[in-house]
Each structure stands twice: as C-alpha cells, then as structure tokens.
A and B are shown apart, each in its own frame.
Chain A
Amino acid sequence: KNEVEQSPQNLTAQEGEFITINCSYSVGISALHWLQQHPGGGIVSLFMLSSGKKKHGRLIATINIQEKHSSLHITASHPRDSAVYICAVSTYGGATNKLIFGTGTLLAVQP
C-alpha cells in the first residue's frame, strides 16, 4: 500500500462542474502539498498546508490531520484546468525535507 493514495486516478468533467480530488496518507507529516502538472511536464505548486483550509481563486484545499485526509476542490471548472493533480506530503526529520508523492489524478475538463 502506498503511503500517499489519491482518488480518483482519472476524472472527466464538463466545464462548470465542481470537482473534488481526494488524498489520504498513512505517515506523519509536517505539511501536505497539492501540485499541478501540465502536459509538458512542468510542476507548479498550488498549495502547501498543515491544517484547515486554503483558497486561491477557484481552487480550495482542505486538510483533516486527525483523519489523515486532504481534498482539492475546483469550482466552476474550465478546460484550462485539465492537468495532472498530485498530492505530496512532507515527512518529518533530518536536515532536509523529503516529499512522498501520490500517483496523481488526471483531470480532463471538456467544454
């Protein structure tokens, strides 16, 4: 079992729909990250959170530390949101920060 699990693996939505991507983890973490990877491969950090909720434009990320679960929501989805969304966790310890990644959710938003 992976230490970071995402669901669904693939998601197709119609433009305007509300989208939710889930992430569960089984290790102790110092932070959780949501990343966006576009078809060319480049990765952009969307959120880093250790508690509660963060909002940026149409994107909302929440985390429940007790349940070891996070969700990424996209409101009023648009075709330009199509990408792979990756959940990653920062683990404790040492002189540096190591990330453990989920396998990603491929989102396709159709016009």
Chain B
Amino acid sequence: EVQLVQSGAEVRKPGESLKISCEGSGYNFTTYEIAWVRQPPGKGLEWMGIIYTGDSDTRYSPSFEGQVTISVDKSINTAYLQWGSLKASDTAIYYCARRETYYYDSSFGTYFDYWGQGTLVTVSS
C-alpha cells in the first residue's frame, strides 16, 4: 500500500527555523517526484515546489523560491521542506504529494495520486 506519512504539527516563533518531513512507503520512492502544497487557514491550495527524488533536482514556484528549501534523503525514503526564518504568514497546513506522470497527445502530463496527511505549522509570537 502506497503511503506518505508526514511529521507532526509544529509551533514556532517568527524568525525560527523548521524542517518537516514526508516518508514514502509501499512503492519505489526514487521513481516518483514529491511535491509540497500549502493551504493557509481558510484558503486554497498552493503549489510550492517539487523534488525529483532520483537526482534531488528541485523546482520551485516563483512565489516560494528563496523562502523554503526542498530536499530528500533517498536512504530513508524521505522528503523534507524547511524554512530558515519563519514568518507568521507561513502558518498553514503543508501537504506532500506523489506526482504521477502520464503520456498524452505527444506530451507528458502529471497529477498527484497520493498525499500525505498534512502537517500543521503555526508561527506565532
């Protein structure tokens, strides 16, 4: 059974650092990308970035470039999302998701087929 299990809820103060995790199991971890998606309180889903778990290549949304770092440890099938200096506006639920690829009309499309349970990050003084 495919599973993505995320680390637990965190409470931090503004300016503090944080690293949350997403462990994959039940599939060949390095053959799928892992993305991170943010959901601020009462708001919609925001695509943050993605890591190609096989070679650790990353792509970020311009909105999040420089604000967060996505990384992976292939030896333990785990992806990470980290902040160097948190802001109150980083308060949100953060989901990791596995990205599946399909071939259609001479191009490749993607979708998220499995999601982690979400990690609530609260940043408050």
Co-complex (A, B)? no
List residues of chain A with CB under 8 Å of any chain B CB: none
